[in-house]
């Protein structure tokens, strides 16, 4: 079977779903192919921080009702080092802007519901397998669904299928550059059934490494500590995990995280990655397909939304006025924002982790940088304005 649409989208993550929704509001038809089931994408716990601009966009689109009821708005973060905790206020240093703690899978649920209510074509359990005629004006994507092979023919094909994309490799090898940096540490993450330990996120640097206290809901908390990326969760009993958190988060005033049943344990590697350009002819890439940031800056989800916001505008100009200026400028404009986020995420990671093999001198430099961020309004503003994010492009 061959389907036909204006914009073919591979992947129903934040990038693919948001793009499809924005196009729908502009009267442009799209079809999404998603390899996983609806249940799976709606239950995979990943990101949790929404930048100010993403929240504003969701509000303008009328997609903010459940988020407003269930999210937690944060007006700053805590930085903890040398046994002391310092508050970095966004109200003071980012002109009153804030972030929202709202789990990515809840954001996905809202978008899927809005898309299906508008009659969208989302093909779940439809795995894209090959891009056909990538150079033509009607690229096609081959996909497998219910054991049968199908094709989707479109005017434009957008890869929103994450790092292991099948769309990105369809760009000719001599026209693309992939820049990557792999960090020598990973994050050991847990989900714990407990009330929040803190009213705002705590980023901690201890002599032995990094820890983060985050949240997903009033009853479910997300916590991470730095680990060897090749470690195995099987090596970590609950007691050993809590002992690690207590040590990395210890303060002079005896603060302790709230504990409870650990319902999930995982290890993620950390890397930075950018693919340039983000367009080849009628093929586009967005979100994690085009770039990965280490999670320390909490930028992945928002970058995905910012990409497709730009791309949707370019496609609107094309279908409404027949001009390609927006599409031609997409890659350059998106990459400007991507590189700012890449730098910020690398900087936060460098400041807050113990790097294997790094000496005491390096650690003292990190502590000095943290003290500067907490003590200087200019340095605090640098962190705050990057953390809450710049206006949507
Ligand atoms: C553990 C973890 C914690 C994170 N924490 C944060 C955070 O706190 N803040 C933040 O901003 N970011 C965070 N991120 C990053 C954030 O989750 C991603 O940047 C975000 O999901 C990117 O959205 P996307 O739509 O580009 O890609 P994805 O969400 O990866 O979506 C891609 C979709 O494509 C589908 N797909 C893949 N291949 C195919 C195929 N061949 N055919 C059809 N479908 C396919 C996948 O099933 C998937 O649903 C975190 C990521 C992880 C893994």
Give 287-337 pLDDT, tens digit per residue. 999 999 999 999 999 999 999 999 999 999 999 999 999 999 999 999 999
Pocket test of ligand 1: the residue of 39, 229, 300, 348 to mutate, having most ligand atoms within 8 Å of its CB, is: 300
Digit-coded pLDDT (tens) for 65-114: 999 998 899 999 999 999 999 999 999 999 999 999 999 999 999 999 99
Q: What is the mean pLDDT of residues 54-60?
A: 95
Q: Binning pLDDT at 50, 70 and 90, where does residue 36 land?
A: very high
Which member of 102, 203, 224, 330 is catalytic? 203
pLDDT > 90? residue 45:
no
pLDDT at 349 over 90: yes
pLDDT reading at 12 higher than 90: yes
Closest CA to 53 of 336, 393, 287: 393
Q: Is the pLDDT of residue 217 over 90?
A: no
Model confidence at 15: pLDDT above 90: yes
pLDDT given at position 382? 97
Beta carbons of 71 and 48 less than 8 angstroms apart: no
Q: What is the mean pLDDT of residues 176-205?
A: 97
pLDDT(123) > 90 = yes
Closest CA to 21 of 103, 116, 107: 116
CA–CA separation, 346 and 328 (whole Å): 29
What's the pLDDT score for residue 312? 98
Q: Given pLDDT bands bounded at 50, 70 and 90, which one contains residue 393?
A: confident
Mean pLDDT of the chain: 96
The strands making up 72-74's β-sheet, listed across from edge to edge, are 49-50, 99-101, 72-74
Q: Is the pLDDT of residue 20 over 90?
A: yes
User: What is the pLDDT at residue 48?
Assistant: 87
Give the ligand 1 atom nearest the CA of 104: 17
- For the segment 242-267, what is each residue's pLDDT rounded down to a tens digit? 999 999 999 999 899 999 999 999 99
pLDDT at 46: 84
Measure 219 CA to ligand 1 centroid, in angstroms.
Answer: 24
| Rounded Cα gap, residues 276 and 117, in angstroms | 35
Q: For residue 154, give the nearest of 182, 131, 171, 181 by alpha carbon.
A: 131
Cα–Cα separations (whole angstroms), residue 244 to 19, 168, 226, 229: 41, 40, 10, 16
Could you confirm whether 319 is annotated as catalytic? no
Tell me the mean pLDDT in the region 264-286: 97
Task: Tally Cβ neighbours within 10 Å of residue 178.
Answer: 11
- Give mean pLDDT, residues 152-178: 97
Closest CA to 122 of 166, 152, 99: 152
Candidate list 21, 74, 206, 353, residue with the active-site label: 74
What is the average per-residue pLDDT within 142-166? 97
Q: What mean pLDDT do residues 9-25 have? A: 98
- What CA–CA distances, in Å, run from 135 to 155, 158, 237, 327? 11, 14, 52, 16
Average pLDDT over residues 190-209: 96
- What is residue 208's three-state secondary structure? coil
**Which pLDDT band, with edges at 50, 70 and 90, does 343 fall under?**
very high
Say what the pLDDT of residue 392 is: 86
- 145-173 burial code (b ≥16 CB/10 A, e <16): eeeeebebbbbbbbbbbbeebbbbebbee
Counting from 1 in the atom list of ligand 1, the atom nearest the Cα of 307 is 26
């Amino acid at each position: 079977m061959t389907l036909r649409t204006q914009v073919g989208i591979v992947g129903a993550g934040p990038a693919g779903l948001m793009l499809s929704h924005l196009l729908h509001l502009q009267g442009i038809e799209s079809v999404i192919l998603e390899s996983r089931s609806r249940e799976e994408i709606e239950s995979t716990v990943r990101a949790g921080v929404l930048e100010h601009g993403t929240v504003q966009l969701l509000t303008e689109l009328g997609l903010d009702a459940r988020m407003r009821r269930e999210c937690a708005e944060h007006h700053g973060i805590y930085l903890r080092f040398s046994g002391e905790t310092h508050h970095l206020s966004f109200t003071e240093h980012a002109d009153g802007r804030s972030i929202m703690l709202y789990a990515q899978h809840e954001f996905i649920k809202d978008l899927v519901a809005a898309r299906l209510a508008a009659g969208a074509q989302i093909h779940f359990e439809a795995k894209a397998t090959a891009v056909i005629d990538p150079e033509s004006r009607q690229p096609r994507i081959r996909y497998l669904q219910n054991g049968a092979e199908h094709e989707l023919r479109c005017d434009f094909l957008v890869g929103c299928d994450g790092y292991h994309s099948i769309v990105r490799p369809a760009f000719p090898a001599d026209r693309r550059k992939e820049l990557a940096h792999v960090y020598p540490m990973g994050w050991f993450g847990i989900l714990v059934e407990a009330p929040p330990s803190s009213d705002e996120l705590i980023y901690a640097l201890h002599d032995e490494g990094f820890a983060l206290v985050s949240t997903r809901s009033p009853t479910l908390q997300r916590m991470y500590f730095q680990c060897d990326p090749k470690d195995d969760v099987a090596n970590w009993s609950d007691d050993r995990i809590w002992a690690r958190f207590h040590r990395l988060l210890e303060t002079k005033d005896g603060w302790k995280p709230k504990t409870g049943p650990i319902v999930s344990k995982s290890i993620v590697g950390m890397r930075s990655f950018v693919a340039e350009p983000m367009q080849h002819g009628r093929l586009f890439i967005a979100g994690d397909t085009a770039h990965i940031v280490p999670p320390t800056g909490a930028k992945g989800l928002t970058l995905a939304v910012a990409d497709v916001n730009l791309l949707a505008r370019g496609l609107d100009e094309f279908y409404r006025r027949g001009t390609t200026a927006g599409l031609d400028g997409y890659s350059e404009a998106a990459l400007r924002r991507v590189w700012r986020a890449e730098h910020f995420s690398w900087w936060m990671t460098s400041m807050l982790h113990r790097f294997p093999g790094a000496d005491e001198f390096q650690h003292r430099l990190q502590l000095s940088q943290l003290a500067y961020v907490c003590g200087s309004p200019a340095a605090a503003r640098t962190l705050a304005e990057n953390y809450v994010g710049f206006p949507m492009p």
